[in-house]
């Protein structure tokens, strides 16, 4: 069972060395406590400890109090005041602790509580996790856009003196005002310089290593022997008619300016009616497959207005899949004057052996030259069909009611461009 602590010593005296002879000490417990196996200790009752003629705790009879180390709850202490024999306060009051079974009060350091649980920890002053140079003083200074005030009750208030940051995109507030995370987009790179600078860089548009005049638009255009197509999902296809020299005749038709045995005939616009000529070009007869090409033809009249298209069909079919206008100087209905040979604008239409093609030409104002081969022809030059009507929009093609001129062909040069 715990026992009380016997007190001794003290040597209480004034600053001149005069002992507190026959004075006394009063002990007041800081809070109600209990002793295990004994009972409760009331804090409201002041204990008097007598001093002898030397200012020490009188030992006859022995005097004792409950030690703070056996009192519960922990961290109790005594408020101790020393008096002269005349009752004048001379020492304290000081907060002191009593420990052990015997204690010499001469070991007390005034107003020092030596036992505390948990033990008292020293304050460590840090900024961003790093110890401050001074561990004795913390002086908070208001920076730009910040006000710091001491509320006087231990509370320090930090208040922004600015309006705060608002995150926006194109003038509209972002959904999150807590985080702004810049992410690379198509053709864009974002780099954090590490010092608050963020660099946003885009793609540089160049041609042959030289920056283009416009850095906003890249418009790819078909060039000589080059065809460019966009698949609509980000794919750009660039095709070349490589191996097809410019000016090559891609179909075995009579060449312009070459005289074959036979007679040049003027058959269009006979009797003033509107006539169409249809020249069959079987895909299987193609000598090469250019991505773009031109058509040359010869007029007979001094002034001729024409309109012409290329009709595309499946092999052996008369159903027109598509038509492409043949233009001269950007006109789909040019006046060709005087009589002579004329070459069309470049036609950006890929030719292949999986389709048949028809040159359909209409005019009501002039005569077109037909060439007849005296030895006869087959295939693409096996004949030309003359229809006494506008045949440009007919589908499927129907070769009835007109005139077939076997062994004759338009005087046409079908050239790779």
**Contact by Cβ (8 Å): 308, 360:** yes
Confidence category of residue 373, pLDDT binned at 50, 70, 90: low
This prediction's pTM = 0.42
How far apart CA 413 and CA 241 sit, in angstroms, is: 18
How far apart CA 292 and CA 103 sit, in angstroms, is: 115
**Contact by Cβ (8 Å): 307, 401:** no
Confidence category of residue 153, pLDDT binned at 50, 70, 90: confident
* 321-348 mean pLDDT: 93
How far apart CA 98 and CA 104 sit, in angstroms, is: 10
CA distances from 62 to 43, 50, 71 (A): 22, 10, 21
Which of 240-244, 264-268, 286-290, 343-347 reaches the highest mean pLDDT? 343-347
Helix, strand, coil percentages in the chain from 3-state DSSP, rounded to 5: 5, 40, 60
Least confident of 63-72, 369-378, 399-408: 369-378
Q: How far is CA 39 from the centre of its chain?
A: 73
pLDDT tens digits, residue range 374-402? 444 444 445 678 887 888 888 998 887 77
Which of 65-69, 165-169, 257-261, 383-387 reaches the highest mean pLDDT? 65-69
User: What is the pLDDT, as a whole number, of residue 376?
Assistant: 42
Token look-up 């250019």 returns 290
How far apart CA 381 and CA 372 sit, in angstroms, is: 9
* 65-78 mean pLDDT: 94
* 260-266 mean pLDDT: 52
User: Between vectors from CA 47 to CA 30 and to CA 40, what angle results, nearest 5°?
Assistant: 60
Least confident of 178-187, 236-245, 397-406: 236-245
Please name the residue ranges forming H helices in 155-254. none
Q: Is the dihedral of CA 92, 93, 97, 98 positive or negative?
A: positive
pLDDT tens digits, residue range 8-63? 999 999 888 889 999 999 999 999 999 999 999 999 999 999 999 999 999 999 99
């Amino acid at each position: 069972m715990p026992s009380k602590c016997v007190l001794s010593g003290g040597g209480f005296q004034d600053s001149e060395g005069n002992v507190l002879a026959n004075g006394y000490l009063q002990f007041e417990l800081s809070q109600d406590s209990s002793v295990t196996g004994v009972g409760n200790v009331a804090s409201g009752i002041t204990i008097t400890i007598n001093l002898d003629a030397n200012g020490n705790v009188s030992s006859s009879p022995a005097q004792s109090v409950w030690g703070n180390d056996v009192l519960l709850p922990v961290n109790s202490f005594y408020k101790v005041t020393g008096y002269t024999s005349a009752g004048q306060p001379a020492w304290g009051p000081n907060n002191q602790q009593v420990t052990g079974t015997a204690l010499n009060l001469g070991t007390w350091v005034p107003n020092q509580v030596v036992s505390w649980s948990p033990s008292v920890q020293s304050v460590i002053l840090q900024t961003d996790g790093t110890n401050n140079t001074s561990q004795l003083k913390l002086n908070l200074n208001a920076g730009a856009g910040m006000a710091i005030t001491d509320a006087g009750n231990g509370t320090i208030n930090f208040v922004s003196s600015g309006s705060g940051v608002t995150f926006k995109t194109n003038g509209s507030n972002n959904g999150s005002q807590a985080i702004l995370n810049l992410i690379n987009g198509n053709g864009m790179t974002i780099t954090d310089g590490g010092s608050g600078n963020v660099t946003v860089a885009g793609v540089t548009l160049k041609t042959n290593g030289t920056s283009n005049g416009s850095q906003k638009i890249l418009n790819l255009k078909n060039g000589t022997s080059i065809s460019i197509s966009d698949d609509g999902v980000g794919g750009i296809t660039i095709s070349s008619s490589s191996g097809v020299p410019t000016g090559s005749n891609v179909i075995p038709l009579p060449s312009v300016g070459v005289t074959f045995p036979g007679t040049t005939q003027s058959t269009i616009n006979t009797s003033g009616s509107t006539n169409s000529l249809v020249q069959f070009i079987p895909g299987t007869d193609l000598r090469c497959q250019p991505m773009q090409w031109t058509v040359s033809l010869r007029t007979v009249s001094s002034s001729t207005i024409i309109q012409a298209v290329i009709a595309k069909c499946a092999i052996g079919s008369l159903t027109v899949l598509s038509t492409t206008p043949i233009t001269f100087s950007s006109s789909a209905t040019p006046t060709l004057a005087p009589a002579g040979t004329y070459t069309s604008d470049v036609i950006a239409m890929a030719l292949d052996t999986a389709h048949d093609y028809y040159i359909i030409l209409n005019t009501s104002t002039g005569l077109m030259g037909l060439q007849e081969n005296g030895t006869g022809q087959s295939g693409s030059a096996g004949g030309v069909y003359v229809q006494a009507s506008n045949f440009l929009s007919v589908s499927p093609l129907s070769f009835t009611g007109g005139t077939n001129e076997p062994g004759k062909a338009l005087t046409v040069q079908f050239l790779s461009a």
